[in-house]
Structure formats: structure tokens, C-alpha cells
Structure 1
Amino acid sequence: MLKPLLFLLAMLACGAGPAQAQSQPGPGLGLVQPFSGPLQTPGGTMPGGSLPDPVHMVPPAPATILRPLTAAKPVVVELFTAEGCSSCPPADRYLADLAQRRDLLALSFHVDYWDYTGWQDRFAAPAFGARQHAYAKAKGENMVYTPQIVIAGALPMLGSDRVAVEAGLRAARNRKVMAEPVLAKDAGGDIRLTLPATPLSVPASLWFVTFTHRDQSDVTAGENNGQRVVSVNIVRTLRKLGQWQGGALTQSIRLTPEEMAAAPDACAIIANEAEFGPVVAAAAWNFRDLY
């Protein structure tokens, strides 16, 4: 009986007991979310990011879902306008009325192709005119104009024609495909965009938009010389986040220096089928909730 006892004691001394062997993680074990640095445990940092005992793992901090400014599944209304265009102020005033409605996401994209008349629109950017041209190309059109409204990424019309726009809004409410994006922020300040699985005919492009609720300019040149032009929901930055294939999606968003420097009041997510097709997801949030 002495030899088996000595053999068992030797195995325990070498750390080869069955319980310890089973506690080692296998080669296929991984983490659901990758960590950018070493793992944190109640006892301190584990060098090299090695996996701690599951009993002592710290659960991830819960994320806070941000409350949207818009109602569920809003109709997106994009007005392409310019401070240097004499036909635009009536459309700007109409958009101010539309911006009061939570069932709509009304945005003013100031284009720069009217700057040649003598007034430099300080809210205009080449990217905004490019978006309007892309909408026109998607519809097989060769010309753009101001003021133009595009409803739900699919219905272009004169921006000051209230009767036509209201009819377009009623038609847009019958959309068959529309998802609700969700933004959440965790304790570390990371922003997460979540989209549910949605049947799309083609992949959609995801756009991150920032905008200012209201601003004005005293125009001193060009067609609107001597007028005070007031705009609402003025787009300040536009950034493509990537593509959405239609499956359930969770994506991190990091604010850029340009977006922070613009000091906007709000932000929005817009998903256009293909690049500039019908809108299939949209919502807006208070920008300050993101940081």
C-alpha cells in the first residue's frame, strides 16, 4: 500500500491533479467582445490579457439607451437650400414648420453652387451638393435646383410646394420597410449603434449627420442682399459609417474632431438603400448625450 500512496503524493506535489487540469481554458475559448488592453479583475490587472477565473470576472458595464428626439420610424425630409437663392426663404420657413413635428426628421442641406452670385453661404459644403446630385442621378435626372425637398430618399419635389410635400409625406407613411436605430452609451463613453434584422432588397448605406436647430445670417450680397435668412435643422457634418446588409447590427461610433468642432445641437442616423435610395432607418438624438 505504501507505493500507491507515495505515487499519489508525488502527483499532487507536481500540480497534475485532475481538478487543476480541467480548469485550464482550451485552445478554442475566446471572449465575446475583444479587449483593447489588459483585463481588469477585482485583484488588479492581469498581465498579457490572460483569462481570469470565471468566478472573478468583472461583468461589462451596462449601456444607457439614449432617448431619441424623433418618434419611431420618422419620415426623413431633406431640403436642399442656399442663402444665396432668392427662391429659398419660403421653403426655409416651411421646413421650420415641418421641424416641429416629431414624426418627421426635417433637415436643411445648404449647397454651395449658389455662392457664385456673391454671397458665401457659411453653412454650405460640397458634400451636401454631392448628396443632392446623387439623389438626382439615382432617379435618372441630370439637373438639380433649389429649393428642392427629397422625402424618404425617394420623392423629390419643389421645396416650397406645400400641397405636393404634404401629399408626399402621406405616401411615405405607407412604407413597408423601416427599422428603428438605437444609440446607447456605456460607462466608458463608447457609443453603440444597434439595428434590428430587416429585410432589405439591397444593402443600405449608413450616414451619421449632425445639425444645428436654428441659425440666421444677415445677407449683404447676392440675390438675398439686405435680408435676414433664418434656417432650421441646419446640417453641419455628414459622414458615411459603412454598409448595413440587413442583418442584426451593432457598430461602435467615435465622434470626429470635425463633428465636435461644429458644436451641433443634434445628430441623426439615416440608412439609405444602396447609396442614395429609399430611407429604411432613421432617428435623431441630442448631440450632448453622446459625450
Structure 2
Amino acid sequence: MILKNLITVSAFTALLFATSAFIHQNKDQKTARHPAVENNGFAVLELFTSEGCSSCPPADELMGKIEKEYKDEPVYLLSYHVDYWNRLGWKDRFSTAENSQRQQQYSRILNSQVYTPQLVINGKTEFVGSDENTIKNAIQEALLVSKKSNIELSANVSQDKIDVQYKTSSSDPKNTLLINLVEKHSSTQVGKGENEGRHLHHWQIVHKQNQISPNKQQEGTTTFKLPEGFSVENWEVIAFIQNSKTGEISGSAKTNFK
């Protein structure tokens, strides 16, 4: 009888140990999957793309996939449509010279080539915009190690304009606050060029970017003209703080419309 009881106690102790180890392991796994919660990390992804580039549709589709997968994480997506592909037969209706100039700035800062699709993360590293594994690894690293400066945002829509209220604690004269008016999703039936005949989908399209010097004005209001086809459900505002010399992004935030 004594031997039987000892065996029962021993088995019960082993079960408790195994249960404790399982709970501890699961806790570690949850922490590993959500590093941004404890480390206040973030990832700003800037894609340079074009409807005239046959290599770009996979990168555009990847933006949509990442937007869905990381919707509950501090991951901020922006797609800049460049205009230098327009001369080859198809004019990208989302393209602007300002977007091409921004990519040129990154080329100088990062000592990189100008190409599409190109993706830059937190202003510090660049990748081919369709390289899913490399990009997702870089996102996880950014969420783990980056530290986010605070930005407060709100946006209001009137009859013909959008007013964005901002506030930040950044006062470094080398920093710029960039506030972006972003269309979450759109599509185009391409009639000419390398993607002739294709129906292309785009996510997180930057339509306008306003630049503010936070050392002169740490809080205030900036205004966008209300775009055609605007709806509060399909548009948002994304802002980030960037060092104009190094390109490094030190904080980001986004807001929907009231």
C-alpha cells in the first residue's frame, strides 16, 4: 500500500512539472510572437512601385498581404508610385514627381540603386519589394529593436478639405515630421506598357505628403485637399518622424477619420 501511494504521488508530481513546463513554454512563445508589445517597436515600410513595371505587381500584392497579416501590429505601410516609368507607354495615375524625388533621396542616403519595386524599412535598410521572406524577417527585427517616439494624430473631414491635428515631443532640428494622406486600396485596368491587359491592385497609396519641422512647430494642423472619390472607410493618415540626414525613422502613428 505504501509503495502504491508513493507511485501515485510521484506520478502526480511529474504531471505538475510537465504542466508547468508547458505553460512556461507557451508564455515564451507568445512573447516571441509579439515583441513590439514589450519593446515599443514599430516598422515603417515604404514601397516604390509603378503600374508600368512588370516586376511590381508581386510587390503590390505583398503589401496587401502584409497589411492583412500585421493589422494588429505597429506596422505602417506606404506605397509611392514613381513617375519615371510613365514614358514607356503607360501613365500611372497614382505617380508623382515627388515620389520619384523621395526615392532619389534614399538612393543618396543608403547608397543604393534606383529601381522598382524597392522597399525601405524604417529609413535604414532597403530590399527588393517582392522578397517576402527577407521583408518579414526585417519587420520582426524592427518590431523587436526599434524605439518609437510619440506622435499624436487626429483627422477631420469638411466639405472640401481634410484637417490633420498633430502633436509630437520631437524637437531635434534634423528631424522632419511627414504626414501622409493614404488610400488603403484601389485597382487599375492597364491598357498599355509592360502590364498591358492586367488588372492591378494597389494598397496603401500615398497621394500627398506634407512636411513639417517639429523643432519650430511641435503641434498644430496641416491640411489636405479632399481627393476625388474620397470615403472615410478607404482612407487614412500616416505620420512619421525622420532624420533628414541619416534617413532613420524614429516614430510613427496613424489615424482614421472622425
Using structure 1 for the length normalisation, give the TM-score. Answer: 0.65
Looking at structure 1, the residues matched to 196 and 155 of structure 2 have their Cα atoms a distance apart, in angstroms, of 45
| CA-CA distance at 1:268 after TM superposition | 1.1
Larger radius of gyration, structure 1 or 2? 1
Q: 1:96 to 1:184 in 2, by over 3 A?
A: closer
Looking at structure 2, the residues matched to 185 and 96 of structure 1 have their Cα atoms a distance apart, in angstroms, of 24
Match of 1:261 among 213, 227, 234: 227
Aligned residue runs from structure 1 range 18-97, under 5 A: 74-97=42-65
Aligned residue runs from structure 1 range 96-175, under 5 A: 96-100=64-68, 101-102=70-71, 103=73, 104-141=75-112, 143-175=113-145
Per-residue displacement from partner, 1:71-90 (whole Å, max 9, x unpaired)? 97531111110001000011
Q: 1:158 to 1:115 in 2, by over 3 A?
A: same
The structure in which a higher percent of residues are helix is: 2
Identical counterparts, % of pairs: 26
Q: How many correspondences in the alignment? A: 208
Given that 2:89 and 2:192 are in contact with CA atoms closer than 8 Å, whether structure 1 keeps it comes out as yes
Aligned residue runs from structure 1 range 195-214, under 5 A: 195-196=168-169, 203-214=174-185
Looking at structure 2, the residues matched to 185 and 233 of structure 1 have their Cα atoms a distance apart, in angstroms, of 17
Structure 2 residue identity aligned to 1:90: P
| CA-CA distance at 1:261 after TM superposition | 2.8
Q: What secondary structure, in the 3-state scheme, does the structure 2 residue paired with 1:239 have?
A: strand
Structure 2, unpaired ranges of 5+: 1-36, 157-161
Q: What secondary structure, in the 3-state scheme, does the structure 2 residue paired with 1:173 have?
A: helix
Q: CA RMSD in A?
A: 2.5
Q: 1:149 to 1:178 in 2, by over 3 A?
A: same
Looking at structure 2, the residues matched to 172 and 253 of structure 1 have their Cα atoms a distance apart, in angstroms, of 29
Given that 1:193 and 1:253 are in contact with CA atoms closer than 8 Å, whether structure 2 keeps it comes out as yes
Structure 2 residue aligned with 1:27:
none
Structure 2 residue identity aligned to 1:266: E
Looking at structure 2, the residues matched to 190 and 127 of structure 1 have their Cα atoms a distance apart, in angstroms, of 21
Structure 2 residue aligned with 1:226:
197
Looking at structure 1, the residues matched to 139 and 215 of structure 2 have their Cα atoms a distance apart, in angstroms, of 25
| CA-CA distance at 1:282 after TM superposition | 0.6
Given that 1:73 and 1:283 are in contact with CA atoms closer than 8 Å, whether structure 2 keeps it comes out as no
| CA-CA distance at 1:243 after TM superposition | 3.9
